[in-house]
A and B are shown apart, each in its own frame.
Chain A
Amino acid sequence: MNPASIRFDNVTVRYPAMDRNAVDGVSLAIAGGELVVLLGPSGCGKSTLLRTVNRLVPVDAGRILVDESDVGELDPVELRRRIGYAIQAVGLFANMSVAQNVGVVPSLLGWKRREIAARVDELLELVGLDPAIYRDRRPSALSGGEAQRIGVARAIAARPRALLMDEPFGAVDVVVRTALQRELVRIVSELRTTTLFVTHDVEEAFRLADRIVVMRDGRVEQAAAPFELFDDPATEYVRRLVHAGDDVYRRYFARGRELLRAP
């Protein structure tokens, strides 16, 4: 299936409690199959921007186009079923088994029971968990890393053409995080799913991204490929954020990318 393109067209979001726009006139085009990381400190608007794509956050101005159709004109429930969504807190449904969690979108889409069961087993293997062991477990019986894996499996279960991930590996230790990042790079390149990935972790951004979008105070500071950003930062803010000019960091970030892509 060909991946979806996503285009932000002058998107602005206001929160009543905030004295400035949470997202302030962001325009950005993401090609099908691209893995774009939104990078910035908390409060910079990256999560808000992400959540406008599946309409969990309404926009006050501008529009978002997924495959050239304005999401504002689509039924939000239908839209969300076609877009994968994974969050830092994971939010596995505590009243459902692992299999029911992973199969939730296919079941909402009306897949047959047998198709869902087969897909669940396939996905559990894809994220490195033995279906025979994990299928019937409750979320409360999972470790943090296992829960994050299930969260990713749930997000991609219905073969979405776009995937939204909001710090999905933020709550696990560094060893598990690297393993999950490796799997994500592999899965996304296999599925060729357009992916928007939010993080505040510069190293994680350099490891994963085809393109990094640095955000600050609701605006895009710079959008560029990781080492373009590093070698040619557009602003002082970006320069300091990525430690531009420091060769130790350059090698460190490059090593991180290799680490995830080594066989």
Chain B
Amino acid sequence: MNYLISHPLRVAALAGAHLELVAVALAVASIVALPIGILAARHPRVAPWILGTLGAIYTIPSLALLAVLVEWLGLGFAPIFVALVVYAQFMLARNVFAGVTGVDRAQVDAARGAGMSPAQVLWRIELPQAMPVLIGGVRIAAVAMIAIATLGGYVGGVGLGVLIFNGLTLHQPQMIVAGSVAASLLAIAVDAGLRAAERRAAV
């Protein structure tokens, strides 16, 4: 904890960069996952294949995936960013699928019967009602991504992982502790914030 107290600005700056990395990756991942989840919800026969593939990707050890991505994209911001987007797909698309298929079928029937187009049924009925589940997916993904993003420090990226890996290299356990504690606090805060949003979105 000493490092945290002696270098608050340094830790805060890295935490800020960490959060920024996760936020941008989460935004991009959400844009990708939304159509994937909707596609799965619309095609129940292929849904297990889509979600199964994403689940299989999720089980690839993160260091192994990062190693492959570094080969391909080089060191720095890119490999960890891509890894985060890829890992998040499982959690995000799964919740889009669960949220959309969980909407009361009678309401969907009534909406179609009232003359809503398929897009109107999706945007006016299904997605608004799936919102708590969608936010739940974002929350779970965000917490996992904050943890995974620390590996960015290993591949020349940004964020709290820099402290952890520098601490390992320099034999400075206090730096490792500072980085880990800061990442945990970040995850807890993001989790609490998104839980509140989830409750507000419930109808």
Contacts and interface: CB of A to CB of B under 8 A. Distances in A.
Interface of A: 54, 56, 77-82, 85, 87, 89-95, 104-105, 108, 138, 140, 151, 154, 164
B41 to A, nearest CB: 17
Nearest to B118: A77
Given A77-B117, A95-B203, A140-B203, A56 B112 contact: yes
A100 to B, nearest CB: 10
Contacts of B184: none
A81 B114 contact: yes
Given A87-B110, A90-B110, A95-B203, A80 B115 contact: yes
B115 A78 contact: yes
Interface of B: 104, 106-117, 120, 124-125, 128-129, 203
Pairs of residues from A and B, 8 with the lowest C-beta to C-beta distance, nearest first? A91-B110, A81-B115, A89-B106, A85-B113, A91-B106, A80-B115, A95-B128, A91-B107
Given A77-B116, A85-B110, 8 more contacts: A79-B115, A87-B113, A90-B106, A93-B107, A93-B124, A95-B125, A95-B128, A140-B203
Max chain A CB contacts within 10 Å: which of B108, B116, B128?
B116
Contacts of A95: 125, 128-129, 203
Contacts of A138: 203
B106 A108 contact: no
Max chain B CB contacts within 10 Å: which of A54, A85, A95?
A95
A169 to B, nearest CB: 15
21 contacts: A54-B113, A56-B112, A77-B115, A79-B115, A80-B112, A81-B115, A82-B115, A85-B113, A85-B114, A87-B109, A89-B109, A91-B111, A93-B110, A93-B125, A94-B104, A94-B107, A95-B129, A105-B114, A151-B110, A154-B110, A154-B114
B128 to A, nearest CB: 4
Contacts of A108: 114-116, 120
Contacts of B106: 87, 89-91
A78 to B, nearest CB: 7
A80 B109 contact: no
A78 B113 CA distance: 11
Max chain A CB contacts within 10 Å: which of B110, B117, B128, B203?
B110
Contacts of A90: 106, 110
Contacts of B117: 77
Nearest to B117: A77
A159 to B, nearest CB: 14
A154 B128 CA distance: 20
Contact of A94 (B109, B113, B120, B129): B129
A92 B107 contact: yes
Contacts of B108: 91
Nearest to A85: B113
A164 B114 CA distance: 11
Contacts of A85: 110, 113-114
A138 B202 CA distance: 13
A159 B165 CA distance: 70
Contacts of B128: 95
Contacts of B203: 94-95, 138, 140
A93 B123 CA distance: 13
A78 B116 CA distance: 9
Contacts of A91: 104, 106-111
Nearest to A151: B110
Max chain B CB contacts within 10 Å: which of A82, A104, A164?
A104
Nearest to B110: A91
Contacts of A82: 115
Nearest to A109: B115
Contacts of B124: 93
